[in-house]
């Protein structure tokens, strides 16, 4: 695992994977993809980073505890469902908003935010487990 | 008239919760005055409720509703009639004074903000309970009062007795809560109604129904646990571990009255039967006498009041059981009078404890000079508790005697119980409120002095109210008694309360007899105490001991069951899981005839000759081959790491099959899952310090192999059976047709996940997060244990705490942590 080649190219791979994971997450509503897959790709990126450097380093790079990503994801997903209540609709009725930016239209919706919540949960949980397993015996997880 | 009645009535129950959330913040910035400030919220609610009174007197009831689950016909409905208004006004009014009092009582306590939050949240729950029309909402608020009460009793969580009292109250009242839920659902199933207001319009209620007995048992269990009826009364004295404002509020005036409220509420459609009267009068009478006598056993003022509260609750249950018009009028007047004087007396006891440093009646005396205002407050409370005119409690007593003046022996028996109970209660009142203040001065642990203003407002005001209500008797009767009694009986009740005391009426003389008995009991308090203690020690056990024994047995049982099921042998867990899977797959196939669909029928003739290879393209054969290679490699390889990799190859082949047959999303996810599985399994393997190779004895190999073959065959056969049938495509047709027009997405899989079945996904991601937390807990837990030497695999007799998943065949040659 600790070859110089792997350690050198790992950051590049990780960065590419992270960007790709977000891309996959965002396009999910119309093309293959979505929060679940995106989250898995993102978590793999973090696992690779943890292997190439160290779990501690990967944790520092994440800034927040991986599990807090998961907690925030559940919160976000739950709260998006609540928005529709102010609209006099039952819980989790989707709301769409089309933003006109110059020539293109950006469709924003509560399912999209919900999907980002799913992404964060999958990303946070899996990377937390991977990093927890990768960290050395003496390290604090 | 308020613009939106629905919203404002709902707000009565919701505003305290909002206030509770803000209370710690408010307290932080306005520390010395936070009590005065936060008391404004209950005070405003009280004022609003009182402003509703004229409308309720005129119309009988106001309902309000906001949509909850409209599809299922569930509304968050509220209903304000005389009964709920009386309760709600009592709760908010006393609540305001209690919050004021707490600010002074716990002044400087580091968690005062939290305490205020709990108190306000409790008040919201209690207001919701008495205002709720929907029975599910009633249940919800009922349980919330139990939870907040748990938090308040265990507020001083460093003391073991406080934690014990809190858990005991929670367990006992939650048994009742479950019974209430069962009762509510039964009633809904029988009548199709969720709403209390609709139920009481039913002709003859539930009295004639076959399940009446069961429903009655559920509701009685709920009410008896909440209102501490004998023999489920023992949690209430232990709940006195709570700070005194809590005891004054929850465990005398409000929460324990929830059971009484429930009984009063269901009277129109449940009451009046033989079983109802017998059970309520019986349990109420026993509770009344038991509580009143047990109060004499105590020397702690607060415990004396607690026991007398049990007695008062018994009295109310008894009166509801009688169900006559005068008895119900007695319930209403007694409830109001009791709430006023008991909360006041608790506050007085708290003030004595706070200023003199003890509440043991034998260590107190002659405080009247040092705490004159407190003495006045105590005197007002005692006046009411003894039932002397001019307090409203006097009329409560008159009212309850009035209906029992018949030659019927049952009525006379009840009358005797009531007189005895009232006399004992009166004596307790005199003991609590007069004994510490009169007589020779006794040195107290703290130099006693007058309590602060915020602690005196409550008892003085409540005591004075008890007298004002009596002085304005006709107004009280018209605006409180009549609407509330009419609401309980669901028919118009006219009050006959009057100041014109007829000396020829036996009722007056029975009252005089009560006072005489009370005076005797007051003089003989010491003798009664000795008698009661001798009786208790003769009995040898208390209900408390029984509770402990049951709880201990429960824990022992849970421990034994856990050790049986959770033995710590991973291979047996996996073996059991797969054996069950095999059983679940094979049983329907062979026992229920599922396999018949696959058997060649006679019309097919020479079917073996018609078999042919499927027309697969070359790359499809390649994928097939890849899966086979992976499979063979897993079985053949002796090294664990190779097996894990081979499993990944096999999984990748499956993902490719998904891709070829047009499920890119599934394939995509499968790829990622396979990669991560290999990585995580490899990491787990290194972490567990397993041996590289996995040598298995032949019998293990045969057992595992057999399980694998049976499970695999089962899945394969099941899938083949599934494709022989007609596929019901209604759902997929619906999704295909609607995903773009109504959900604005072309990727149906994703649209289903985040929109159509978003609620499922929300549940799934919550489970995922919880699983992640659990795994992290296991990882950290394991790490902490590395300091201790690794012992043999946990045996079936290991203590519960030691059980954690221990992998099979972990080597003992584990290296020490660096």
Residue B655 lies in a domain: no
| Interchain CB distance below 8 Å, A32 and B758 | no
Closest C-alpha among A42, A46, A61, A39 to residue B683: A46
B639-668 as b/e: b if 16+ CB within 10 A:
ebbebbbbbbbbbbbbbbbbbeeebebbbb
Q: To probe the interface with B, which of A20, A91, A129, A130 has the most B CB atoms within 10 Å?
A: A129
pLDDT value for B783: 58
Closest C-alpha among B286, B278, B356 to residue B320: B278
Return residues 657-686 of B near A (CB < 8 Å): 664-665, 668-669, 672-673, 675-676, 679-680, 683-684
User: What gap in Å lies between CA B232 and CA B31, rounded to an integer?
Assistant: 40
DSSP assigned state of B817: P
| Interchain CB distance below 8 Å, B746 and A134 | no
pLDDT value for B797: 40
Residues on chain A touching B676 (C-beta within 8 angstroms): 40, 43-44, 47, 126, 130
Angle at B342 between CA B472 and CA B486, to 5 degrees: 50
Closest C-alpha among B512, B540, B522, B539 to residue B295: B522
Closest approach of A100 to chain B, Cα-based (Å): 17
Can you spell out the DSSP letters for B204-250? TTTTTSTTHHHHHHHHHHHHHHHTT-TTS-THHHHGGGS-HHHHHII
| Interchain CB distance below 8 Å, B772 and A70 | yes
Chain A CB within 8 Å of residue B778 CB? no
A-B contacts at Cβ under 8 angstroms: 150
Chain A CB within 8 Å of residue B688 CB? no
Chain B CB within 8 Å of residue A74 CB? yes
Residue B480 lies in a domain: yes
pLDDT value for B782: 62
Token pair 């005001």 in the structure block, residue: B461
Partner-chain residue, chosen from A30, A118, A121, that has the shortest CB–CB distance to B746: A30
Closest C-alpha among B90, B695, B169 to residue B340: B90
Chain B CB within 8 Å of residue A109 CB? yes
Residue of A nearest to B664 (CA): A32
Chain B CB within 8 Å of residue A29 CB? yes
Residues on chain B touching A68 (C-beta within 8 angstroms): none
Per-residue pLDDT tens digits for B92-144: 999 998 888 888 888 878 888 888 888 899 998 999 899 888 888 899 999 99
| Interchain CB distance below 8 Å, A92 and B672 | no
Q: B243 near B102, Cβ under 8 Å?
A: yes
| Interchain CB distance below 8 Å, B746 and A107 | no
Closest approach of B74 to chain A, Cα-based (Å): 13
| Interchain CB distance below 8 Å, A111 and B758 | yes
Partner-chain residue, chosen from A36, A96, A137, that has the shortest CB–CB distance to B744: A96
Low-confidence stretches of chain B (pLDDT beneath 70) = 1-4, 73, 782-818
pLDDT value for B560: 93
Residue B46 lies in a domain: no
Closest C-alpha among B187, B39, B54 to residue B120: B39
Q: B84 near B131, Cβ under 8 Å?
A: yes
Average pLDDT value over all residues in chain B = 83
- Domains of chain B: total: 1
pLDDT value for B816: 39
Q: B437 near B366, Cβ under 8 Å?
A: yes
Instruction: Please check the confidence at residue A137 and state whether its pLDDT lies above 60.
Output: no
Average pLDDT value over all residues in chain A = 86
pLDDT band at A23 (very low <50, low <70, confident <90, very high): very high
Partner-chain residue, chosen from A32, A51, A92, that has the shortest CB–CB distance to B758: A92
Q: Domains of chain A: which residue ranges? A: 4-134
Per-residue pLDDT tens digits for A94-115: 788 787 777 777 778 888 899 9
Q: Which domain holds residue B428?
A: 285-523
Instruction: Please check the confidence at residue A36 and state whether its pLDDT lies above 60.
Output: yes
Q: To probe the interface with A, which of B665, B744, B772 has the most A CB atoms within 10 Å?
A: B772
């Amino acid at each position: 695992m600790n070859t110089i080649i792997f350690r050198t190219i790992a950051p590049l791979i990780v960065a590419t994977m992270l960007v790709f994971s977000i891309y996959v997450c965002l396009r999910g509503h119309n093309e293959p993809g979505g929060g679940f897959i995106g989250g898995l790709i993102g978590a793999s990126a973090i696992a690779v980073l943890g292997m190439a450097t160290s779990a501690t380093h990967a944790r520092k790079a994440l800034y927040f505890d991986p599990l807090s990503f998961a907690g925030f994801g559940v919160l976000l997903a739950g709260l998006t469902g609540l928005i529709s209540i102010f609209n006099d609709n039952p819980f989790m009725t989707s709301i769409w908003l089309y933003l006109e930016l110059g020539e293109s239209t950006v469709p924003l919706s509560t399912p999209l935010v919900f999907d980002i919540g799913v992404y964060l949960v999958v990303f946070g949980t899996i990377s937390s487990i991977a990093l927890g397993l990768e960290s050395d015996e003496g390290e604090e997880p | 008239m308020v613009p939106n009645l629905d919203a404002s009535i709902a707000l009565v129950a919701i505003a305290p919760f909002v206030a509770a959330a803000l209370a710690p913040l408010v307290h932080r910035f306005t520390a010395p005055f936070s009590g005065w400030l936060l008391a404004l919220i209950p005070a405003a609610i009280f004022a609003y409720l009182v402003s509703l009174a004229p409308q309720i007197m005129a119309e009988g009831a106001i309902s309000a509703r906001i949509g909850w689950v409209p599809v299922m016909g569930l509304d968050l409905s509220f209903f304000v009639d005389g009964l709920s208004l009386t309760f709600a006004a009592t709760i908010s009014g006393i609540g305001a004074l209690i919050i004021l009092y707490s600010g002074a009582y716990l002044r400087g306590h580091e968690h005062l903000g939290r305490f205020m939050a709990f108190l306000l949240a409790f008040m919201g729950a209690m207001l919701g309970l008495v205002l709720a029309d929907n029975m599910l909402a009633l249940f919800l608020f009922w349980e919330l009062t139990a939870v907040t009460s748990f938090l308040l009793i265990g507020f001083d969580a460093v003391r073991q007795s406080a934690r014990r009292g809190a858990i005991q109250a929670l367990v006992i009242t939650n048994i009742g809560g479950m019974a209430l839920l069962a009762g509510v659902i039964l009633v809904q199933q029988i009548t199709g109604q969720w709403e209390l207001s609709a139920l009481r319009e039913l002709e003859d209620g539930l009295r004639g129904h076959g399940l009446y007995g069961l429903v009655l048992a559920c509701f009685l269990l709920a009410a008896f646990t909440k209102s501490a009826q004998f023999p489920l009364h023992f949690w209430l004295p232990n709940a006195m571990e709570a700070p005194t404002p809590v005891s004054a509020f929850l465990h005398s005036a409000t929460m324990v009255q929830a059971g009484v409220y429930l009984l009063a509420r269901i009277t129109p459609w449940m009451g009046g039967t033989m079983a109802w009267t017998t059970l309520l009068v019986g349990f109420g009478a026993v509770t009344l006498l038991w509580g009143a006598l047990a109060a004499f056993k105590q020397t702690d003022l607060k415990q004396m009041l607690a026991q007398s509260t049990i007695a008062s609750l018994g009295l109310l249950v008894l009166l509801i059981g009688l169900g006559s018009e005068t008895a119900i009028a007695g319930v209403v007047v007694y409830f109001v009078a009791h709430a006023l004087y008991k909360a006041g007396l608790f506050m007085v006891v708290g003030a004595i404890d706070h200023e003199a440093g003890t509440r043991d009646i034998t260590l107190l005396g002659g405080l009247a000079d040092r705490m004159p205002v407190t003495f006045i407050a105590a005197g007002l409370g005692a006046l009411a508790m003894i039932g002397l005119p001019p307090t409203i409690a006097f009329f409560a007593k008159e009212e309850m005697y009035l209906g029992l003046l018949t030659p019927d022996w049952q009525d006379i028996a009840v009358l005797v119980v009531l007189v005895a109970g009232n006399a004992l209660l009166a004596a307790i009142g005199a003991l609590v409120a007069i004994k510490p203040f009169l007589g020779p001065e006794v040195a107290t642990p703290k130099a006693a002095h007058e309590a602060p203003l915020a602690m005196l407002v409550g008892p003085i005001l409540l005591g004075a109210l008890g007298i004002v209500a009596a002085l304005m008797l006709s107004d009280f009767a018209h605006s409180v008694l009549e609407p509330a009694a009419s609401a309980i009986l669901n028919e118009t009740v006219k009050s006959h309360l009057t100041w014109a005391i007829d000396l020829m009426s036996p009722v007056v003389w029975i009252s005089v007899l009560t006072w005489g008995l009370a005076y005797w009991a007051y003089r003989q308090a010491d003798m009664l105490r000795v008698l009661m203690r001798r009786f208790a020690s003769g009995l040898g056990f208390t209900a408390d001991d029984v509770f402990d024994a049951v709880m201990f047995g429960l824990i022992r049982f849970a421990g034994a069951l856990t050790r049986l099921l959770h033995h710590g042998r991973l291979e047996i867990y996996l073996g059991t899981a797969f054996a069950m899977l095999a059983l679940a797959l094979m049983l329907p196939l062979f026992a229920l005839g599922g396999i018949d669909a696959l058997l060649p029928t006679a019309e097919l003739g020479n079917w073996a000759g018609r078999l042919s290879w499927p027309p697969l393209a070359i790359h499809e054969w390649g994928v097939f081959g890849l899966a086979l290679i992976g499979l063979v490699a897993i079985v053949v390889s002796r090294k664990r790491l190779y097996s894990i990799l081979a499993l990944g190859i096999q999984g990748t082949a499956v993902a490719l099959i998904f891709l070829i047959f047009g499920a890119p999303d599934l394939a995509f996810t499968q790829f990622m899952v396979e990669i991560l599985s290999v990585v995580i399994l490899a990491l787990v393997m290194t972490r567990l310090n397993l041996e590289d190779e996995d040598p298995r004895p032949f019998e293990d190999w045969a057992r595992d192999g057999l399980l694998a073959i049976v499970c695999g065959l089962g899945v394969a056969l099941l899938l083949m059976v599934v494709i022989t049938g007609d596929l019901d495509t209604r759902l997929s047709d619906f999704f295909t047709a609607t995903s773009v027009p109504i959900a604005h997405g072309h990727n149906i899989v994703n649209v289903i996940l985040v929109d159509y079945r978003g609620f499922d996904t929300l549940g799934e991601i919550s489970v995922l997060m919880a699983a992640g937390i659990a795994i992290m807990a296991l990882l950290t837990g394991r790490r902490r244990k590395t300091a201790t030497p690794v012992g043999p695999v946990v045996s079936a007799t290991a203590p519960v705490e030691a059980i954690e998943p221990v992998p099979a065949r972990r080597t003992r040659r584990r290296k020490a942590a660096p």
